[in-house]
Amino acid sequence: MTDDVYKPLIVQSDMTLLLETNNESYESARDELSAFAEMVKSPEYVHTYKMSSISLWNAASAGVKSEDILSSLEKYSKYPISETVITRLTQIINRYGKVRICKEHGELFLETDDKFIMAQLCAEKSVYKFFIDTPQNNRVKINSMFRGHIKQALMNIQFPPEDLAGYVDGEKLFFDLKSDVFQPRDYQLAAASAFRVGGKGDHGVVVLPCGAGKTIVGIEVMAELKTETLILTTSITAARQWISELMHKTSIDPELIGEYSGEKKEIRPVTVSTYQIVSARDKSGEQKHFNLFSRRNWGFIIYDEVHTLPAPVFRITAELQAKRRLGLTATLVREDNHEADVFALIGPKRHEMGWRVLEGQGWIAQAECCEVRVSLPEELKMSYAVASKRDKFRIAAENPDKCAVIRNLIVKHNGAHVLIIGVYLEQLKGIAEEFSAPLITGKTSHKEREELYGRFKRGEISLLVMSKVANFAIDLPDANVAIEVSGSFGSRQEEAQRLGRILRPKRNENKAYFYTLVSRDTREEDFSMHRQLFLTEQGYPYKIVGEEVNG
């Protein structure tokens, strides 16, 4: 018997990877796989990964070659890698950059070194319609107005282009970072450097854990580019946090920083807005705020939490490819299958730092994740049995016996700063009343939210009940326990964002506890397993326990 049988990985011919979790090489294998594969299943003993086109192209854009991936697979695989996998992997990853977009004398060209690829492009109506003339020497002029659209079309036929056409500089904005106030961390500087790629990048996505200071990466790049900047965020709260950080950490005159939201319409050299306002429609159906993108000569656009980018903003971004673009996110996972649009229109993944890596360095809190199984009360079991699939999920999510578990957890973590997070408002109202705690929902005014956040930070209250507004941009560094009572079906990004609410480093014990309450033997268990995929891939195993969690 060879030593190979003790390795943790099985590479299957359909490009899936089976990884044994109880193997001593599991963690090192998991870390290497995450560079080019995505997790699709995570039961107790064997995790399943998939080498998708997007995951391989993101790896290729970071300089990973097919031989690097094959070397990793061979290092951990029990069995020889099939020729089918070798061939498909090499074909997919080598397609990145086979087609290039470049600029010469102010005109845009599509080019390739392969005449057969150019022939294929000419045969594809979705691509050919953007050609201005007939290809010559595997090169063809294209309409610069449709730079983003042709990138999307090329992605659809599995030829992800490398965009080398450069950018407009935008109006200049000179400022410095306040070095006496803060110093960017090494990994933040590395992320900013990877985005710029020696000045030849300037489009793409930086992936860092929640609480790791993605805003600082954006500010660092702004300081390097020194150009007027548009920043798009998920909410007014997030927008105002960006404005506060810019005022605190840079020398930009506050009069040059504007908020463009439902409450203010300031357009200044640095303008911070929200996805909601720029994609909002008036009564006639017109998206009148889209002109924000053309109101100034922006040289740089930052897309905060880019994994939430809505479809209307994708459409306008397709026409903004001459602008430098930075996407910031904790996870590239999207539940709407628009990962290819992020790749095409914002750019490839330029830098990623593992959650556990930053945890080990003390930059984010050490987190323990636990799934608590709660039985349905007898009086609900018949209602659940005869309900539709959607209603089954809601009955399970709103299981009233979850309240007793919440009480046990509050007692267990006496003195902690606790967030209770859910989706269904009636459920959350009941929990808020049960525990005499403030409730924050989308209808809570910004002023009231800020007052409650302030009281939570000062220790005047230690428990907040929150709806989906807790998913993004809440700066509550002392929060160290999160209890998830209900979620948006199987959303992996939501799970990651909610854990992120408690990951900011703590002043005392740098630990955090994340509990997700799941009704036993219901559809909620299946959705919960899917929700946990991304965090499991990052190295956060979920301990599964019963409802008696007060010990």
DSSP state of 434: H
Amino acid symbol at 28 = S
Nearest C-alpha neighbor of 268 from the set 288, 244, 240, 297: 297
| CATH number of this structure's domain 362-545 | 3.40.50.300
Where are the alpha helices (H) located in 342-420, listed in sequence order? Answer: 355-360, 378-386, 389-397, 402-412
Nearest C-alpha neighbor of 486 from the set 536, 523, 534, 512: 523
pTM of the model: 0.87
Q: Which residues, 6+ apart, have CB-to-CB distance to 237 below 8 Å?
A: 446, 449, 450, 469, 473, 474
- Token pair 């807790």: residue: 470
pLDDT per position as a tens digit, 229-262: 999 999 888 999 999 999 999 999 999 999 999 8
Report the C-alpha dihedral over residues 282, 287, 290, 295, rounded to 10 degrees.
-50
Domains 186-353 and 362-545 share a fold: yes
**3-state SS assignment for residue 49:** strand
Task: Give phi and psi for 265, each to the nearest 5.
Answer: -130, 60
| CATH number of this structure's domain 186-353 | 3.40.50.300
Q: Where are the domains of the chain?
A: 3-94, 99-163, 186-353, 362-545
Residue pLDDT tens, the chain, 551 long: 456 778 999 999 999 999 998 999 998 999 899 889 988 877 778 889 999 999 999 999 888 999 999 999 999 999 999 999 999 999 999 999 899 999 998 899 999 999 999 999 999 999 999 999 899 999 999 988 899 999 999 999 999 999 999 898 899 999 999 999 889 999 999 999 999 986 668 999 999 988 899 999 999 999 999 999 999 999 888 999 999 999 999 999 999 999 999 889 999 999 999 988 888 777 776 777 777 888 889 999 999 998 888 878 888 888 888 899 999 998 887 777 788 888 988 999 998 888 888 888 889 889 999 999 999 999 999 999 999 989 999 999 999 999 999 999 999 999 999 999 999 999 999 999 999 999 999 899 888 988 999 999 999 999 999 998 888 767 788 899 999 999 887 788 888 888 888 888 887 778 999 999 999 999 999 888 888 888 887 888 889 888 776 54
Nearest C-alpha neighbor of 373 from the set 522, 481, 493: 522
CA 85, distance to chain mean position in Å, is 29
CB 108 within 8 A of CB 143: yes
Cα 59 from Cα 164, distance rounded (Å) = 18
- Token pair 């430098």: residue: 324
pLDDT per position as a tens digit, 354-388: 888 888 888 988 999 999 999 999 999 999 999 99
- Token pair 């539709």: residue: 388
End-to-end CA distance of the chain: 45
CB 198 within 8 A of CB 269: no
Strands of the sheet with 481-484, listed across from one edge: 439-440, 463-466, 418-421, 481-484, 511-519, 366-374, 542-545
CB 275 within 8 A of CB 309: yes
